[in-house]
Amino acid sequence: MSAEAPIDEADLAALRAVRELYEMTDPVPAGLIERIQFAVDLEDLDAQVARVCEESRLVGVRSTEATETRTITFDCSVLTVMISIRPITDETVRIDGWLAPAGEHRVECRSPDGKRETTADPQGRFVVEDVPHGLLQMVIRLSWQEVHGGTPPVVVTPSIMV
C-alpha cells in the first residue's frame, strides 16, 4: 500500500468509484456534447471565438419552450455581437442583431438544417427571420480585411439553443 507501488486493481476500483460519484452527483447536462459537436463542425479554422458575455435569465432560457424574448451578448477582441431572439411561430424565431464596431459584415446563422445569411447595415444592424428552434451558431465575416494587423476576419459564437 505504499506510494511507490504501481497502480493496481484496487486503485482502479477506487478511481472508477470517484468518477461514478461525480457523474452521479453532477452529471454533464443532456445535450451539451451535441451542442459542442455542432459548434466545432465548421470550416473556418483560425476564426476568433466569441464568449457569451451577458444573457437575459428568463425562465426556460435553455429550453425550446421559451416564449419570451431573450438577449445575448457575445464578445471577443475584435467584435461584440448582441442578439435578441423572439419566438414567432412554434417552429421559428426571429433574430434581431447588432454588431460593434458597426460595418456591413456578413452574418451567417447556422442551424442543423442549414444556414441563413444576411449582411448587416452600415450601423451594424441585421435581422434574420425564420430561424428554426434548436441549435444556433453565428459566424460573422468582418467587412474589413486588412485592419487589426493579423487578426482573422471571421468570428464564431458558441452554439446556443433557441
| 3-state per-residue secondary structure call for the chain | CCCCCCCCHHHHHHHHHHHHHHHHHCCCCCCHHHHHHHHCCCCCCCCEECEEEEECCCCCCCCCCCCCCEEEEEECCCCEEEEEEEECCCCEEEEEEEEECCCCCEEEEEECCEEEEEECCCCCEEEEEEEECCEEEEEEECCCCCCCCCCCCEEECCCEEC
Verify binding: residue 8, other proteins, rule CB under 8 A.
yes
> Which C-beta is closer to other proteins: that of 125 or that of 148?
148
Verify binding: residue 150, other proteins, rule CB under 8 A.
no
Verify binding: residue 108, other proteins, rule CB under 8 A.
no
Residues that contact other proteins, how many (by CB under 8 A):
52
Verify binding: residue 68, other proteins, rule CB under 8 A.
no
Verify binding: residue 40, other proteins, rule CB under 8 A.
yes
| From 25, 67, 77, 145, residue interacting with other proteins (rule: CB under 8 A) | 25
Summarize as ranges the residues that interact with other proteins (CB under 8 A). 1-26, 28-29, 32-33, 35-37, 39-42, 45-49, 51-54, 57, 62, 75, 156, 158-159
